Amino acid sequence: MREMRTHDCEATLTDSEVMDFCREGYLVLEAVVPEEINKRTCEFLLQNERTEQLLEEDWFVDNVILNAQAAGAVRSLLGSNFKLTMPFIFNHLAQEPMEPQAWHRDGSSHYGPELDSLQVFYYPQDTPVELGPTEVLPGSHFLFGGFSHMDHYRNFKGVVSTAAPAGSIFLTVYPVWHRRGKATSAGRRNLLKYWYTRTVAPQRDWVTEPGLELAHAYHRTDFNIDHRETHRAMDDTAEMFYWLCGEHEKCRAWSNNLPVYYYESSESCLQCGHEAAARKARG
């Protein structure tokens, strides 16, 4: 197997994109893998049952595992010298029409603001809705749900399909709720699944936006979480963003454990013009 313990590259996500990931729990990068690599991957999977052998192929590692756009996003979220959990890579193959899978989160999920790993998926072929692409419930990485309390659910408002063209890669927070969608057509749907892990302490070393205050993470105006109270979704998102910035201790007031925006702020947010609740109360 090719030796590859850690990798470093330029971070490519902005503050706003990192906050979006904290809020939604996933990021789709469409058609980032070259078509030639997609075809080679599909051919390889037809001829080989041991998926982990892909990690011995330089063409696959260089263009998928270390894909520049995907790696830049991983670097933004996991910091420098992130690690691939080799030799683990699996293919979730579907070929026939079938009903949707039960909603679930993967085993040993840990809940909280920490982001020490990413679960990643790659479609080497076009994957329209008819082939049953993975569905994701945005914001569900903050929901504390046991397996026995999840599999009876059928549909949720706000569910997102990851239907995408060949060469698409999507990143998720490990405990996000997901399932294989309903397949209505026959056709080979390969879905390669692998992971990255953090090796360094978090810090805000992605593409920063001038003038953005940390408190802005609390009062984004474009929230659209359908299955949670908005203020709770905003608090959890902000706490994860503070943690990724290496500033987790600043997200709560030392005296009462309320989110920081309840007791202090500077001027109106430069990004959205929001006035924090504390300033309004003093007004």
Closest C-alpha to 160, from 146, 181, 185: 181
| pLDDT tens, per residue, the chain with 283 residues | 555 579 999 999 999 999 999 999 999 999 999 999 999 999 999 998 899 999 989 999 999 999 999 999 999 999 999 998 767 899 998 888 888 888 777 666 677 899 999 999 999 999 999 999 999 988 888 887 665 566 666 677 778 999 999 999 999 998 888 788 888 998 899 999 999 999 999 999 999 998 787 877 776 656 666 567 777 888 888 899 999 999 998 887 555 566 665 545 555 666 666 654 444 443 4
- If DSSP codes are grouped into helix, strand and coil, which group holds residue 255? coil
Q: Map out the domains of the chain as residue ranges.
A: 6-197, 214-282
Q: Beta-carbon neighbour count of residue 240 at 10 Å?
A: 26
Q: In which element (H, E) is residue 161 found?
A: strand 160-161
Three-state helix/strand/coil letters over 1-56: CCCCCEECCCCCCEHHHHHHHHHHCEEEECCCCCHHHHHHHHHHHHHCCCHHHHHH
pTM of the shown model: 0.88
CATH number of 6-197: 2.60.120.620
- If DSSP codes are grouped into helix, strand and coil, which group holds residue 272? coil
CB-based burial, 131-166: b 16+ in 10 Å, e otherwise: bbbbbbbbbbbbbebeeeebeeeeeeeebeebbbeb
Residues 6+ apart with CB under 8 A from 138: 23, 24, 25, 26, 158, 160, 225
20, 82, 88, 260 from 64: Cα distances, Å: 23, 15, 14, 40
How many whole angstroms separate alpha carbon 142 and alpha carbon 165? 29
Q: How many residues does the chain have?
A: 283
Radius of gyration (Cα) for the chain, nearest Å?
20
